[in-house]
Structure 1
């Protein structure tokens, strides 16, 4: 009897050990939802749909992009965090949603650190300081010289104090030693329109939002906020050429609700890396925004998130920004 019991237990354990592998082989068996916090037609939306289309081909299931904009990313992030962690919901998230909101808001309807697990990176999104082509400023140095000689007279458009562009405006002002008027806009497109029309002098925005206007000669970029000049914009200096060490870019990554089966995350990561590793796909993404180097590993993305939390916690303290 003992021998039979042992054999039955061993068989049960063997079957249980095979279950995760069997589950992984069967996943996905239905459409996968990709939530993002930006509206349809936005830069992140275009990226998500482009990537989702390629992922759906590799996974043999539709990738359904669900736009949940508003609340400074909180609406989309909350929806993703509260989704059933069954491997069929992922969050196409920005740096603001996963990191910066932690240091800008006293309370959030989601926990950026504990409600999600890392899946993979999509890429970095450079930001730029741009002016109307009729502006007298031909370089960042000229703009800074004017701002120092005329404190508080330079208007700078951005998406508001609790956004990446708004934080960059504060950070640049502090490190360049200038005082400007930060002018918040409800959307980056509205800020671009006013800068093109000459109603405002300067705009801090992500590169994808202004690339067409730059190509059309309706905006003049003075500097990019990455450590080095970026592909396709080689004539535009990096802020780091004026402020050594300055390196701030937005980024987009994919996370899943905490508790999502590891097998689903590993497969999604593997397929995402394959999609981003395609040269044609990387070029298409670069044309609308992010510079990608592949998805990386889950551990690498986790380390990036930890490092970003440390960096923004330090920066907000130094800038005297108090969560509200």
Structure 2
């Protein structure tokens, strides 16, 4: 038996050298699919398409976007969590899908930590407080003062309490002692239409979804939610300049189903980071809204995710947003 086992092992090694290598060694030999939880034309979708165009050239295979919006990111995240861990299905994820959903829902059909392999951090996605360009509200302190004078009258649109934008709105309302009426909409697009139509006074939304309207002069950015002022928006103060300690920037990242071969994860990480350092890509991304953040390893991204879970979980408790 020992002699036969040795012969089988020798045969396997010979076949491997002859070109029958493990599947991950041949990756990719067909198109790669990247799932998004947002619709086509949204900020994350625009960033993903920019990145995936470059990724397709780098790996020599088409990289196809598969939009699965709805369910507060659950539909898209669940689809990837259940996909084969072979490197041919990836998830372009945001803060909500991988972190805050854990603290907003008692049950999820996926495990935000266990079901995904961190691949690469892509970009920071600043959120902002915006008003219609002709609004009499001149600044975030002005918005808070007006809401305090007339409690419940001034309205701040958002995507709902169980979204990242909704959490930001509640944190600002709570820490400023504002009396604003927080109005939930089914999507950021609907919220923006209501702002432009004069049906709400302000909106909390990501810059990726609102920057074009702001640059067109239809919306005015009052403040951003990052710790420091945002490149390209240096004239806009941060929320923390008025309410110290508030830092709630969204982000975008690439993950894969848990169990995806490490060689594939590392190849993707390397190629994505090579793209993010290219000035042309970084500039195009900034024009959309997010800020490219290259250089991180899968291990560093994993550590970041654990820190985000702890920090945002505490914020959810602070504003009384318990799982439902």
TM-score by length of 1: 0.93
Q: Is the 8 A contact 1:122 1:290 kept in 2?
A: no
Q: Map of 1:56-67 to 2, 5 A cutoff? A: 56-67=56-67
The CA distance in 2 between the partners of 1:239 and 1:17, in whole Å, is 58
Change (3 A) 1:15 1:263: farther
Deviations, residues 20-65 of structure 1 (Å, cap 9, x unaligned): 9864442111111101111111111111111111101010000011
Q: Is the 8 A contact 1:122 1:295 kept in 2?
A: no
Q: What is the match of residue 47 of structure 2?
A: 47
Displacement of 1:11: 4.8
Q: Is the 8 A contact 1:272 1:295 kept in 2?
A: no
Q: What is the match of residue 75 of structure 2?
A: 75
The CA distance in 2 between the partners of 1:179 and 1:152, in whole Å, is 6
Change (3 A) 1:230 1:15: farther
Q: What is the match of residue 229 of structure 2?
A: 229
SS of residue in 1 equivalent to 2:222: strand
Q: What is the match of residue 257 of structure 2?
A: 257
| Residues 1:91 and 2:85 aligned together | no
The CA distance in 1 between the partners of 2:199 and 2:58, in whole Å, is 47
Q: What is the match of residue 242 of structure 1?
A: 242
Q: What is the match of residue 267 of structure 1?
A: 267
The CA distance in 2 between the partners of 1:313 and 1:16, in whole Å, is 51
The CA distance in 1 between the partners of 2:11 and 2:243, in whole Å, is 63
The CA distance in 2 between the partners of 1:321 and 1:161, in whole Å, is 8
Q: Which runs of 5+ in 2 are unaligned?
A: none
Displacement of 1:9: 8.4
CA RMSD across the alignment = 2.2
Q: Larger deviation: 198-207 or 214-223?
A: 214-223
Change (3 A) 1:15 1:185: farther
The CA distance in 2 between the partners of 1:167 and 1:282, in whole Å, is 28
SS of residue in 1 equivalent to 2:292: coil
SS of residue in 2 equivalent to 1:102: helix
The CA distance in 1 between the partners of 2:142 and 2:21, in whole Å, is 61
The CA distance in 2 between the partners of 1:296 and 1:91, in whole Å, is 17
Q: What is the match of residue 304 of structure 2?
A: 304
Displacement of 1:188: 1.2
Change (3 A) 1:302 1:131: same
Displacement of 1:146: 1.4
Q: Map of 1:109-188 to 2, 5 A cutoff? A: 109-188=109-188
Change (3 A) 1:126 1:10: same
The CA distance in 1 between the partners of 2:67 and 2:215, in whole Å, is 28
The CA distance in 2 between the partners of 1:193 and 1:185, in whole Å, is 10
TM-score by length of 2: 0.93
SS of residue in 2 equivalent to 1:122: strand
